[in-house]
Amino acid sequence: MIIIKNANDQMNSRNFISTWRSTCIIFGSGAWILVGILSLFAVIKIGLVEQLFLLAPLVIVPLGLTLIDVPQTSKKLWHLHNFIKISQPFCALLVLFAFMLPSGILAGILTSSWLALTGLTTILGLARLISRRNLDIKELCIDVGAIYISVGGGWLVLSRLGLNPLGFGNLIVLLTAVHFHFAGFAALIIIGVTGHILTSASKAKSKLYHTSAFSLIVGIPLVAAGITFSPLLEMIGAIITATSLAILAYLIIFFVLRVIINRLVQLLLTVSALCSIIGALFIYAFAIGEFSGHYLVSISLMVRIHGVCNALGFALCGLLAWNIWQPHSKSAANHEPRPAN
């Protein structure tokens, strides 16, 4: 009877968390759209970079948290994961309020709740990593994505406090927070979950996937370190990151889409892959210009095209697709790729 009761309690808890997650994503999306409309009509003053960042706490992060698979046998991790998902919308709301205020102490205090949430997410990623006996590259990507996000949380607090460490301008500080939320968290979650579909891929495609996954894990911190220490290091990190995303797009277009049978998921993944290619091209151009001093792409153009494509196209569509499909809960054996025409 005790076993049955515990099983029923876990089932009820899963149902509650699932309903809570869906509700929060819907309201978060509505809040983000409302901010965009109010900004468009000059009711509030929020720039494009701020709008793109707000998509992360309101929509991107809850979508990504759902794709972090935690076995129910690990009760501590399971409860931590649920606590993070339940707390996320409240912390995201405080971040939204912080962007309604001028940078300073109060705005920084409000965003400290998000730093705490991302810190717990990092603990979750570390715990998952430590508990795993074998190196599983797809799960490693998800772990590292969960670990990297707290770096973005820290830079967000610095941004809202109005601090400029190492002489960085306000824009660079906020863009660093954006980088670790979208490239550091969302992209790694996407590439990690994509790996569940690629278990039935050929050896050549599996090698490509491993190359893409390891490159993304390494490239993200290299870009951040390069901004701080060396334009050459920044260029190398940017090229590695862009190449990783281009490989991922290739694998999605030429393999994953043959496996997926849901038309909506196929459409979302296609948009995600194409946007990652566009983003990769802009990363190449900007990195080369940053190193050579002959700028091919300005930061403002990077934000308008690369930023929008990366946030709305690659990250949002990719995470939505995998939330619908949820490959980690499906047997790869039941989803063999259809033969090419």
pTM for this prediction: 0.90
SS3 of 66-91: the string is HCCCCCCCCHHHHHHHHHHHHHHHHH
- Answer whether residue 268 is part of any domain: yes
Instruction: Look at the chain and report how many structural domains it folds into.
Output: 1
The sign of the torsion formed by the CA atoms of 227, 233, 235, 239 equals: negative
**Is 107 part of a structural domain of the chain?**
yes
User: Is there a domain that residue 243 lies in?
Assistant: yes
Residue 341 lies in a domain: no
User: Which domain covers residue 289, as residue numbers?
Assistant: 2-334
Map tokens 């699932």 to a residue. Answer: 18
Domain membership of residue 340 (yes or no) is no
Task: Judge whether 20 lies within some domain.
Answer: yes
Tens of pLDDT along the chain (341 residues) come to 444 445 555 566 677 888 888 899 999 999 999 999 999 998 998 999 999 999 999 999 999 999 998 876 678 898 999 999 999 999 999 999 999 999 999 999 999 999 999 999 999 999 999 988 788 899 999 999 999 999 999 999 999 999 988 778 889 899 999 999 999 999 999 999 999 998 777 888 899 999 999 999 999 999 888 877 888 888 899 999 999 999 999 999 999 999 898 999 999 999 999 999 999 999 898 888 877 877 788 888 899 999 999 999 999 999 999 999 977 655 433 333 333 33
Q: Does residue 114 lie within any of the structural domains? A: yes
Rounded to whole angstroms, how far apart are CA atoms 62 and 50?
Answer: 18
Q: How far is CA 21 from CA 15, 30, 108, in A?
A: 10, 14, 26
